[in-house]
Amino acid sequence: MNNFLLRCLLAAVVLLTWSVAEAQVSTPKYSNEFLNLGVGARALGMGNVQSALAEDATAGYWNPAGLLRLPNKYNVSLMHSELFAGIAKNDFASFAMPLDSVSALGVSLIRVGVDDIADTRRLQNEYGYIQYDSIRFFSVADYALLLSYARKSNLIEGLQLGASAKVIYRNVGDFADAYGFGIDAGAQLQRGSWQFGVMAKDITTTFTAWTHNVEELEEAYLQTGNDLPENTTELTLPRLILGLGKSFRFTDNLTAALATDVDFTFDGKRNVLFKSDLMSVDPHVGLELAYANSVFVRGGLNNYQETQNFDGGTTKRIQPNFGVGIKTGGLNLDLALSRINNSESNSAGSRNTSSVIVSLGYAFD
């Protein structure tokens, strides 16, 4: 089993190279991007830096190899996040447990959706009168189920390997839905106070097959002169994440963890710090201060972008994130504030839309 997981990780590099060479031009950018929003208030408060640090039930998402560092036999994690002032909801639930001294298993469920969208196509009747009781409401939601497995390697001391199989379902009311499947693979290694992580997402080039309800859409599309949509298959190219973290102990009670993740994407030029037609590189950094392993304060920087102003100039922006946490017994309560700037100023007083994240974790034997 150890050799099998190691071969899977090595195959990830081969599959990643093959996928880039074969699908670079034909695959859309930002496919299944809801899977890159992040989960857990601890991680989001640290700027989505977790590939080397993940060690709880959220590890099935961030890096399945981290499931081998679970604090207890049974581990549960729940998250609710309000995006764009509550317009969109991001929810997450996971359960993880060790199978034996060398392996662990995790199950995670993600939902990102916008609910109660008004369908006003039938607002006006055939006589030209407005009928408000004809308004219908629908939801647009994306779902992902992750089944994760991790195992210690016998080849290198301290090396942990993991993989996640994910099933995707995306729904746009009665108008369209999609099903997809993909595989992620990861590894973690700890050397003293240093922690290393690597996460290869969508190593098989995740596919998502869309089916459109043409009969439901036909009248509206013909009235507006648009072509009817066709069933398509959307491909998601691999993403490689390299992580590095270091722990510090200042006193018996005061500790800290400083970490960085670097995301490598291969679906064309993105609006990130380093970009090219072949590859884009997006670094982000996070810090966690802990007192007596019970009270936590966190911060992180991510989502670097360069935007164009109305006057034709450009502004470089980076997203700050903040968080706090409390741990008592096996209960963890974490809060985070992730700011998305929408003004031309990045100052503390600039107007912005904030995302509030609440997480609850419980670990017990």
1-10, 76-85, 337-346, range with greatest mean pLDDT: 76-85
Comparing 354 with 185, the larger pLDDT belongs to 185
- Residue 214: which pLDDT band, with cuts at 50, 70 and 90? confident
CB-CB neighbours of 290 under 10 Å: 19
Mean pLDDT check: name the lowest of 3-17, 27-41, 218-232: 3-17
Which run of H or E residues covers position 12? Answer: helix 2-23
Comparing 333 with 123, the larger pLDDT belongs to 333
Task: Identify the CA nearest to 360 among candidates 93, 72, 168, 182.
Answer: 93
Mean per-residue pLDDT of the chain: 86
Q: What angle do CA 206, 339, 235 make, to 5 degrees?
A: 10
DSSP state of 130: B
Domains of the chain from N-terminus onward: 2-364 (2.40.160.40)
- Residue 352: which pLDDT band, with cuts at 50, 70 and 90? low
Comparing 148 with 17, the larger pLDDT belongs to 148
